[in-house]
Chains A and B, each alone.
Chain A
Amino acid sequence: MELSAIGDILVAGLLRGGLFVLMALGLSLIFGVMNIPNFAHGEFYMLGAYFAYFSRTLLGLNPVLCIIMAALGGFIAGSIIEMTAFKALRKRSKGNWVMNSFLLTVGLSILLQNLAQATLGVRFMGISHYWQGSINILPNISVSIDRFAGFVIAMATVALFYLFLHKTKTGNSIRAVSEDEDGAMLVGIKMNKVHTLTFALGALLAAIAGAALLSINPAYPTMGLAPLYKSWFVVILVGMGNVWGTVIGGFIVGIVEAFSYYNLGAGWQDVVSLMVIITILALKPSGIFGKSVRGVWDR
């Protein structure tokens, strides 16, 4: 393989991976704090894309504002869903929470997909570009500004999110709940608030990803499935509950996909990604950075 090809693959993989990171981060956060394996995560990605599309076409906002609108929309949708569905389930749950909440998210996914389809139709709703043109990020390698901007937005969001989790009181309480729910309750952290906030933030991250990619992937009702399982790839690859490992995992999956795309053509990237994951899990069942898979899965 030529050197320039390797450069192409790395750049494409990193740009691709940046948005997987964003998706996987939300998924991992919701699982780590609330023990919900979210099957409806892709639907928030879809919602984000629609919010951005309508902010752009109907309101004519500038691109950054579009993405902020999508983030807000995702946040609000996430909190409404958490306060209605998951709160009700938590009240009634008698054990087997992981499985029951997972099935609830399956229902949620069907519901949101078809609500979108019923109200907006199956038409692709996309925009040609946020920002026109392309830039050279390395001599010889040029990418469209949109892709690059998407990457920058993703990384900025991840950085902000890191600061939020580690430097603010609310962020600390989210981390406390993920480490020890009973202990967090004992020191007076309001569980309901933390749960709602966590779910809403996870939805927000997915919505930003959907919005940032709008010019590349137009919005349509079932667009969420591929990003969903790709973010699950990432989360399983690095090990459950490891929020920051997902950053590296996202890039790994992105590069693996770019590599298989380059060498085998479209359509094979899922097969290749899976091979990589199986090999890694066969060697280290808890994932690359996972300490132990036990416990949390059986709650």
Chain B
Amino acid sequence: MLKIEHVAKRYGRGRQRKGVLEDINLSIGKGDLVGLVGESGSGKSTLARLIMRLETMDEGEISFSRSGNFYDSCQIVFQNATAALNPTWTVRASLLEPLRLMKGDREGYIKEMLSLVSLSDVHLDRLPSELSGGERQRVNLLRSILVKPELLICDEIVSSLDRLIQKEIVELLKRLNEEMGMAILFISHDLKVVNYLCDRVYVMKDGRIVEDSVKQDGTFVFSHPYAQRLFE
């Protein structure tokens, strides 16, 4: 469904020009649960922005097999739920935004989907500032899945949440994957969560993918020393 081939991204000009991503190759099939791990600054979020066409790449190719509007098939959930929601809009207004072109009962659809992320009607008239961190992230997540994308990119979405809410969100992602067949690219530096959620994982270091591994018997097996050290 998503194929990334020899992608490179550089910032700056002249001698200051610095490579952030080099020779990235990655693929995600329908319904896949793929993890992307690496330390801070390894280029994970930059890659997510390139996939979402929020930035342009310098080399390589990213192909997405679905026709039609790209953003109807591919969505992203940002790490900072507070920054991802307009502070002056109620939850209802934020959730109605992606459904602008939807025909039929949009309110009814939202109310139906709210239970999926363990929220209720009372949350609809609240501002983001009136929600807890976990509720904000659930609203953020719900907004992205309302269009029923085939691929959802989760960019460190549980990093700033406590363990209990992390678990709730991860279970929710698992359920979305199973019930809706939604492929998920889960970007994180939390290896425990990736180990639990994903079936396949890519390890990034200094802008390169150093290894990828498929889960076998509940664990990932790595040959690259950096990946081994990371998952120890």
Physical interaction between A and B = no
B residues near A (Cβ < 8 Å) are none
A residues near B (Cβ < 8 Å) are none
